[in-house]
Amino acid sequence: MATQHSRSAARLMMAPAVILLLGWMLVPLIMTLMFSFKKYLPLRGGDLGWIGFDNYVRFVTSSAFWPSVVATLAIVGGVLAITVVFGVLLALLLNQPMWGQGIVRILVIAPFFVMPTVSALVWKNMFMDPVNGLFAHLWKFFGAAPIEWLSQASLQSIVMIVSWQWLPFATLILLTAIQSLDSEQLEAAEMDGAPPLKRFSYIILPHLGRAITVVVLIQTIFLLAVFAEIFVTTGGAFGTRTLTYLIYQRVLESQNVGLGSAGGVYAIILANIVAIFLMRAVGKNLDA
């Protein structure tokens, strides 16, 4: 009786969130799907009628398509690798006894509070500029020729900027996870003479598995949508045109809403392929 009651109450309580998100997903999705089958050119009069799968064919057959998928995966993969590896190391370090731990933590999490636009502008102009940037001064100081970061190492530069923004997030979650680790277990292992590397790979890393999956999942959602960092720094040039950026070019620069919408549908498909892999992993972990 009570369960029956609370079940229907539960459903009722879930309703607002579910209905809102369903609307937020379905309305734009249906409109995007509709536009994607149309010749829709705002600068040439708007809706010019149905054209079947033309937009879909044109979008994938464009020479920009596959490179953009590769660039997307490279940025997501690169940032994930850097933030997880350095996040674990940093979390281990921050978990050690030291003076001023609170202040160090404040310093480390600060980049997470910086707007993507601001961080992209600051990195691009004040650090990566090949003439006036700080890196250029540093390189010159050591007698080396300054690197043209955003053209010669464009993808790496963007991965670096985005990693800087997301490293704090990964570090924090991983740090919380490490702190929850049973310290007696670690001490016992230390007593038994297990070397640090063994302790790390047999006790700490398995314990962090769940936290790492969470970091990967949350970051992937945000990283697939990375836009401001590219818009501000390279504008999609030098092989940094991601799928999101390609859609931006189609919709806003070329003002071809139909073609861009077809691209949007592809992006949703790609995101879901990535998501299925991720959620399998996380789904398992959510039960544990």
Of 73-81, 189-197, 198-206, 237-245, the window that binds another protein (rule: CB under 8 A) is 237-245
Of 75-83, 189-197, 198-206, 271-279, the window that binds another protein (rule: CB under 8 A) is 271-279
Does 24 participate in binding another protein (rule CB under 8 A)? Answer: yes
Minimum CB–partner distance for residue 78 and another protein (Å): 18
Which of positions 62-101 make contact with another protein (CB under 8 A)?
62-64, 90, 93-94, 96-101
> Of these, 71, 173, 204, 223, which contacts another protein (CB under 8 A)?
173
Asked if residue 186 lies in contact with residue 203, where contact means CB atoms within 8 angstroms, the answer is yes
The dihedral through the CA atoms of 250, 256, 257, 258 has a sign that is negative
Of 74-82, 184-192, 194-202, 227-235, the window that binds another protein (rule: CB under 8 A) is 227-235
Angle between helix 154-179 and 205-223 (nearest 10): 140
How far, in Å, CA of 59 to CA of 250, rounded?
A: 9
Determine if residue 256 is left, alpha or beta; phi over 0 gives left, psi from -120 to 50 gives alpha, anything else beta. Answer: beta
Does 249 participate in binding another protein (rule CB under 8 A)? Answer: yes
Which of 243, 278, 282, 281 is closest to 264 using CA atoms?
Answer: 243
Does 238 participate in binding another protein (rule CB under 8 A)? Answer: yes
Angle between helix 65-94 and 101-109 (nearest 10): 170
Minimum CB–partner distance for residue 56 and another protein (Å): 13
Does 166 participate in binding another protein (rule CB under 8 A)? Answer: no
Which of positions 106-135 make contact with another protein (CB under 8 A)?
106-119, 121-123, 125-127, 129-132, 134
Which of positions 178-217 make contact with another protein (CB under 8 A)?
180, 210-211, 213-215, 217
Q: How many residues bind another protein (CB under 8 A)?
A: 138
Burial per residue of 36-49, b for 16 or more beta-carbon CB atoms within 10 angstroms, e otherwise: bbbbbbeeeeeeee
